[in-house]
Amino acid sequence: MKIHSRTLIPALLALPMTIMAGTLAADELAEREQAARRASGEFVKQLGGALKTALAEGGPEAAIGVCRDIAPQITGKISRYNGWRMTRVSSKVRNPLLGMPDAWEQKVLADFQRRAGQGEKYPDMVFSEVVEESAARYYRFMKPIPTQPLCLTCHGSDEQLPEGVKAKLASDYPLDRARGYRVGELRGAVSIKQPMAIPLQAPPAVGP
């Protein structure tokens, strides 16, 4: 077979650039995942601390206000600083106007449960993917939120919920579906959506 040098040489010259571009893309995705892991971990840490403080100072009813008011404040600041969209999603939401998963998030939540059924632990799981939506590219990331003993104060079975919590939920969330959980079950997930056109901040913001 005869190989024409005019075809081969440009291809060889282009090869290192292709490899370099692929390496840069992999490095960028690794950096985005690291930033998303850090931000989601810090969010869960801060929310847990706020819940413990509310329970100690105001009792179980006060914890409802933390998830309603403080959690969006934390995710909102992270989102504004980084140009991301960070939120919490669940297959059983308390407020239908917030936390409803889109089609991509529904698929990932189901996959988390499948992986747990195969023996994988929720604290060890993440899922990330670059997707195209409306002619734009996004880096999407999700981290499971397993149900902790503290969560049962507001998300356990009806028998576990204090009467004051039941009354508060009935008043504030008449369409509530976010109860009946047991420790270790998938409560929901932190979901991050990053436009690929926006570079990462250095360092990523994770504070409230």
Query: pLDDT tens for residues 15-33?
Result: 343 333 445 478 889 999 9
With CA atoms as reference, report the closest residue to 190 among 132, 109, 118.
Answer: 109
Give the per-residue pLDDT at 195.
92
* HSE-up (13 A, CA, CB side) for residue 59: 7
The pTM of this model reads 0.82
| Cα-based torsion angle of the residue sequence 20, 21, 24, 26 in order, rounded to the nearest 10 degrees | -110
Taking each helix axis from N to C end, the angle separating 71-82 and 5-58, rounded to the nearest 10 degrees, works out to 150
Average pLDDT over residues 73-100: 92
**Which pair of structure tokens corresponds to residue 90?**
């669940």
Q: Which fold has domain 5-195?
A: Beta-Lactamase (3.30.450)
Q: Residue type at 112?
A: F
Of the chain, the end-to-end C-alpha distance in Å amounts to: 65
Give the per-residue pLDDT at 206.
54
With CA atoms as reference, report the closest residue to 141 among 92, 190, 100, 102.
Answer: 190
Average pLDDT over residues 63-76: 91
**Which pair of structure tokens corresponds to residue 58?**
């105001």
- Distance CA(133)–CA(108), nearest Å, equals 17
